[in-house]
Amino acid sequence: MTHRHIIFAGCVNMSYTWLVYLASRKTADIVGGVGVNIETAKFLALSRGLEVPAFSEL
C-alpha cells in the first residue's frame, strides 16, 4: 500500500473533518497546513495534536 504525505489546505470546518479521517489512516502522514489566516492553520493542526508547519499560500 502506498504511503502518502499530505498538506491540508483551506483551514475551516471541512478541513477538520478530513484531518480526523486522515489521522485514522495508517498510510497517511499530515506534514503541513495552508490557510488564508496562518494562525487558523496553526490552531487547526495543534487541535489534532500535529506539530507541522503552517503557510498562508500554496
The residues with which 36 forms a beta bridge, in sequence order, are none
Quick one: pLDDT band at residue 53, thresholds 50, 70, 90?
Answer: very high
DSSP reduced 3-state for 31 = strand
- What pLDDT is recorded for position 48? 87
The domain 4-55 belongs to what CATH superfamily?
NAD(P)-binding Rossmann-like Domain (3.40.50.720)
Q: Domain extents for the chain?
A: 4-55
Residue 4 has pLDDT above 90, yes or no: yes
Quick one: pLDDT band at residue 3, thresholds 50, 70, 90?
Answer: very high
pTM exceeds 0.85: no
Which tens digits make up the pLDDT trace of 9-45? Answer: 887 777 888 888 988 899 999 999 998 888 888 888 8
